[in-house]
Amino acid sequence: MSLAAGIIQEGGLVAFPTETVYGIGASAYNNQAVKQIYIVKNRSTSDPIIVHIARIEQLGEVASEVPSIAFELAENFWPGPLTLVLKRNKNVAKYVSAGLDTVAVRMSRHHVPLQIINLSKTPIAAPSANLFTRPSSTIAQHVIDDLYGKIDLIIDGGICEIGLESTVLDLTNKIPTILRPGGTPIEMLREKIPDITYSDKFIDAMHGEGMPSPGMLSKHYSPKTQFVIFSGGSPIALDNLRKIIVYLLANHKQIGLLLPDEELSFFADLPIQIQNLGPKEDMSQIAQNLFVGIRSLDKANLNVIIMRSVDKKGLGVAIWDRLSRASGQKVFNLDNEVDVADYRWIID
Ligand code: TXA
Ligand code: MG
């Protein structure tokens, strides 16, 4: 770990595991090093980066104002998958905040970043260790696939415990607002702070599901392969999905399918590549397997990857968000009878 700390102190870049996803870190005080993160990720410099700390006392080093609610949340949810957006301390490298007067801070519960931060004696700015728009990395091989040769060190810590990024909570407005759902579900946060809400943008996205035509909206966390999500809890939904898959197969398409264990038998006889994600009710397991499953199918030269959506509760909200964005908002409900020809665009 001292090797990693030395690299950070000298302005280098280190990829490391966290409990959420792998991060790619630089000293939060070194503007050039932080700039280099944007370059290797091919990330827009208008998208700010999270600063990782190892002790609650370090909050004062990176934030200029720390309201009592931040301490309350930190005491209850740190170390863990919760990021707090606060007013920025000017010590923090400019590139971290992408021109904003705020800074996002989190304390991971993974021993590797905690040790590197302590040994290097510097907070570490670290976004997820993936190329811009690609799914986050949840095993070291993903980091190698995206960033090998561009950074100084990759620390292999096995598969990330949670598999989804942290929840980003903005505390700079009157009402604490979730900007990105993540590893700490809103239900848990509301037990401590009842008035926490989602950003309007996210609420709009949640209601935007349904029409069988592809959206042209922003993509993030995406595989290279076309990615389409189908929701619906009724038996009809599974029948409809089977019909759509059979239609795609009849048109000579190579298909990958991600689904919960319980639905496996329904598709097992079809000549498609299946990745099961875990039991339907076990959102933790589905979350952990999600990016591994997507990235593995993405390497299989398929025409389309299809996934069954999840219930939007608990961790399911963050899973749904990643699916919606990875697919470019191609999330369609199959609870009513469908005409497979409405899905012809998947072939074209
Ligand atoms: O779990 C995680 O959060 C992982 C691990 C490595 O810690 N990190 C991560 O970083 O997901 P990244 O850069 O991929 O996503 C950070 C998110 C982005 O959506 C960014 O816009 C938002 O946090 N963010 C960062 N600083 C912000 C700020 N000052 N105000 C608002 N949003 C901010
Ligand atoms: Mg990211």
pLDDT at 98 over 60: yes
**Backbone torsions φ then ψ of 297, nearest 5 degrees:** -65, -30
At which residue do the structure tokens 């811009």 appear?
Answer: 132
Residue 25: CB within 6 Å of ligand 1?
no
One-letter-per-residue 3-state SS of 33-45: HHHHHHHHHCCCC
Asked if CATH classification 1.10.287.110 holds for the domain at 226-347, the reply, yes or no, is: no
pLDDT of residue 206: 79
Residue 184: CB within 6 Å of ligand 1?
no
Instruction: Report how far residue 348's alpha carbon sits from residue 330's, in angstroms, rounded to the nearest whole number.
Output: 15
Residue 131: CB within 6 Å of ligand 1?
no
CA of 49 to the centre of ligand 1 (A): 5
pLDDT at 216 over 60: no
* Lowest model confidence (mean pLDDT) among 177-181, 208-212, 291-295: 208-212
pLDDT band at 208 (very low <50, low <70, confident <90, very high): low
CA of 54 to the centre of ligand 1 (A): 17
Instruction: Report how far residue 43's alpha carbon sits from residue 37's, in angstroms, rounded to the nearest whole number.
Output: 8
The model's pLDDT over 219-268, given as tens digits with 9 standing for 90+, comes to 677 899 999 999 998 999 999 999 999 999 999 999 999 999 999 999 99
For residue 50, which amino acid is it?
Answer: I
Q: 3-class SS at 229? A: strand
Structure tokens at 300: 């299989």
pLDDT of residue 341: 93
pLDDT band at 218 (very low <50, low <70, confident <90, very high): low
pLDDT of residue 212: 44
Structure tokens at 298: 């993405």
Asked if CATH classification 3.30.110.30 holds for the domain at 2-207, the reply, yes or no, is: no
CA of 168 to the centre of ligand 1 (A): 7
For the chain, the domains span 2-207, 226-347
71 to 26, 66, 171: CA distances (angstroms) = 25, 7, 11
pLDDT of residue 178: 97
Q: Which of 57, 159, 53, 164 is nearest to 115 (CA)?
A: 53
When the pLDDT of each residue in the chain is averaged and rounded to a whole number, the result is 94
pLDDT of residue 291: 97
CA of 127 to the centre of ligand 2 (A): 6
pLDDT of residue 301: 96
Whole-prediction pTM value?
Answer: 0.95
pLDDT of residue 213: 42
Q: 3-class SS at 333? A: strand
Residue 128: CB within 6 Å of ligand 1?
yes
pLDDT at 107 over 60: yes
89 to 29, 101, 166: CA distances (angstroms) = 11, 8, 22
